[in-house]
Amino acid sequence: MKAELAIDVRGLTKRFGRKLAVDHVDISVPKGEVWGFLGPNGSGKTTTIRMLCGLLTIDDGQGSCLGLDIRTQSEAIKRQVGYMTQRFSFWEDLSIRENLEFVARIYQVQDPRRRVDETLKRLGLAERQTQLAGALSGGWKQRMALAACMLHDPKLLLLDEPTAGVDPKARRDFWEQIHALSDEGLTVLVSTHYMDEAERCDRIVYILNGKLVAEGTVHDVISKSGLITFVLEGEHVRRLLGELQDKPGVDYAGFFGAALHVSGHDRAGLEKALEPYRGMDGLAVSEVPPNLEDVFIQLPEPR
């Protein structure tokens, strides 16, 4: 049985003057799933998200979001979407409760005080509701922003780099909340630069220079890449980066912590490049499964 789609768009395109920001992107997201939206700065992630939620008009393409036409029903889409921006965009001289009650009135939520009470409790903010938003840490600001997105009971959450600048525990707590919401049937599309966050998603989409260049589960994306990765570990491994980068068969060499990852698609070429190092004292060379960052670093530029 085919899953019902929350987002189903084809050929999504946006231009700003001569710049083609999003170039004929196709996305089909089943309801109730968490999708990661990845790509470098300027790749078109935010522009795509804003088109999906009706904040930007599309220049080309067609499709639906929550069963509504993205060209002709953008106002109706906005009322059913929760959009969390990159920047904290609430009033820092108001308390958490005051901010949420104001947002609830903007959305014309029925019985706004009761709805705010429910949301505060749901997201663990009840004990902090009188704190000024400007006095909150990054993690609590993030949680308040998520609460504001949930006040009007949206069917789709679009989160634009929501964990940038927050500590690891706050990031982990945030993702636990996201998966709890997904279990309740909410669809989530979240853009991120963190590979460990991408691995928490049901599926991932990678955009580069406005083009979709990879899509699928993390396992599928890694498997389809055809990438082969070796790890070099040892006391003097940092000295080897420069000479390995230029060897035939090596597509990428770079450090992950104290280990040097060397990747490519030509196994024979990689083996030949690494052969002189296998017998070195204090140096270990071993093949490992490529990780998501290995794959994305060497993705080719779309034409």
Which has the higher per-residue pLDDT, 24 or 239?
A: 24
At 300 the pLDDT is 62
Residue of 248, 243, 245, 240 whose CA lies nearest to 267: 248
Domain ranges of the chain: 5-221, 226-297
Which tens digits make up the pLDDT trace of 16-64? 999 999 999 999 999 999 999 998 888 898 899 889 888 899 999 999 9
Question: H helices within the chain, ranges in order?
Answer: 45-52, 74-78, 96-106, 112-122, 138-150, 168-183, 195-198, 218-225, 241-245, 267-274, 292-297
pLDDT given for residue 40 in this prediction: 84
Q: Order the strands of the 203-208 sheet from edge to edge.
A: 81-84, 156-160, 187-191, 34-38, 203-208, 211-216
What letter represents residue 64's amino acid? S
Distance CA(181)–CA(145), nearest Å, equals 15
Model pLDDT for residues 87-122, shown as the tens digit of each residue: 888 999 999 999 999 999 999 999 999 999 999 998
Report CA 39 to chain centroid distance, whole Å: 8
Does residue 1 register a pLDDT over 60?
A: no
Q: What is the mean pLDDT of the chain?
A: 90
Domain 226-297 bears CATH identifier 3.30.70.920: yes
**What confidence tier does 301 reach under pLDDT thresholds 50, 70, 90?**
low
**pLDDT at 230 exceeding the cut of 90:** yes
Q: How confident is the model at residue 289 (pLDDT cuts 50, 70, 90)?
A: very high
pLDDT tens, position by position, 162-181: 887 778 888 888 888 899 98
Neighbour count for residue 73 (Cβ, 10 Å): 15
Residue 76 confidence class, pLDDT cut points 50, 70, 90: very high
Average pLDDT of the segment spanning 231-260: 89
For the cut 80, the answer to whether the pLDDT of residue 232 exceeds it is yes
The CATH code of the domain at 5-221 is: 3.40.50.300
Position 122: which residue type?
R
